[in-house]
Amino acid sequence: MALFLRRTTNIIKHFLVTKSSLATNQTSLTPSFFSVSHNVCSKSYGLAPIPAVFRRMESTKAAELKLDPQFYSSEEEEDDREYPSSEPEGMDFPGGKVMFTSQMSFIAEPGKTRVPCYRVLQDTGVPTSGEIHKLVSEDLATRMYNSMVTLQVMDTFLYEAQRQGRISFYMTSHGEEAVNIASAAALSSEDIILAQYREPGVLLWRGYTLQEFTNQCFGNKADRGKGRQMPSHYGSIKHNYFTISSPIATQLPQAAGAAYSLKMDNKDACVVAYMGDGCTSEGDFHAGMNFAAVMEVPIVFICRNNGYAISTPITDQFRSDGVVVKGQAYGIRSIRVDGNDALAVYNVVQTARQMAISEQRPILVEALTYRVGHHSTSDDSTKYRPASEIEHWKIAKSPITKFRTWIERNGWWNEEDELEIRKRIKKEMLQAIQVAERLEKPAVAELFTDVYDQPTKDLVEQEMLLRESIIKHPKDYPTDYAV
């Protein structure tokens, strides 16, 4: 572990030093943290922050916290289970004193009552509280909506480009635009992102252009990854966005290590690690969560629970009440939020970030959403879920429609604005695709660079064999790249 921590520290320091100067994307608004009352399951719940005075210890030893009841429910409120009376004596065991009992009692499995889901807007776009307009300004709200629409249009064009055979692969974020954009809006540009593969909106929010997205998907010589990554697997040092790795959940232990580096360097920033619900069935999820909790690092885990791990529904993945309850087992503060409610996601992530940095602790956010599109262009989701279900979430629960209704109610948006933005983005995407297609592919030599300072003997041999094969079988290779 010591070697892992040292390597992680070196990597993250190099990452921070070599990145270009970033334009701060964090809104200039002073974060407004206040309780937002709303009805969920016929009860009233609120979301509010912990004051900065409640800080964790500087070391990795856990500090005993006294939590303000204004912000946290008591242990009695959180746990209604009745335990037999304990004996007066207990056992001093690592982690704290454990009381003895003469009665055998098993901890019960989850009951029928599920953890409530925090929301601000109803599905119709009508607020649950009259004070929520204070969450975001008009400028921030319209920028968020702009970005959600941009992501939707970009996804549509690049998906169709794959269907036309112009790129090899693509993954859309249809139905999950609010999780992407609202979470990104709540972060600072200094926060480090380790995403999965359905968070291009975070990179879009940070300034990655439509042309850059398109170049990556076409794998041309303008692609910063030099055509060596699958389409939709973006990365940008400039934007503090680690390159995507296809194997799921591998980013989570790495994210915990990166957060530990921020902790050691006393950075006023956190790491944000995105994942899908399928990641929670991987061992790396548990390793990352436990590492983050034990080392008390500033990290926000955001799980997009969209109901399916490709074709596997969550009912076939786990028996727990979703993902949010998994945090408690690791000693991680957790919350469930309506992932199709941009305002709710923004408020939760902004508060989670504040907690993670000020208290030096991990936070788990489970965003309940729905993948309206297929898992990827290699998938046909109608084989494992009914078309009527997809249509219901696409129409009745659209995060874009919900947010648009709200900003229109405030007088911040109208039909003319809608037509103008969609027309402009479509034009930009058409131009981006035309430019990307005209650019040639990276040279064959780029396949063997950027790993070692000097190519090793086996790499030199592999490059020679590849060039011989291209000359011998020219019809088996594309022609739009430099040999």
Catalytic residues: 160, 246, 375-376
Cβ-based burial of 438 (10 A; exposed 0-12, middle 13-18, buried ≥19): exposed
CA 43 centroid distance within chain: 29
Is the Cβ–Cβ distance between 185 and 205 less than 8 Å? yes
Angle between helices 415-438 and 138-163 (to 10 degrees): 40
What DSSP state is assigned to residue 475?
A: G
Residue 271, beta-bridge partner list: 192, 299
DSSP 135: S
Q: How many Cα atoms within 13 Å fall on the side-chain side of residue 90? A: 9
Task: Report helix, strand or coil for 447.
Answer: helix
Question: Per-residue b/e over 51-82, b at no fewer than 16 CB within 10 Å?
Answer: eeebebeeeeeeeeeeeeeebeeeeeeeeeee
Report the alpha-carbon distance of residue 60 to residue 434 in Å, rounded. 53
Q: What one-letter code names the amino acid at 453?
A: D
> For strand 271-276 and strand 192-194, is the pairing parallel, antiparallel, or unpaired?
parallel
In the chain, the amino acid numbered 195 is A
Residue type, 365: V
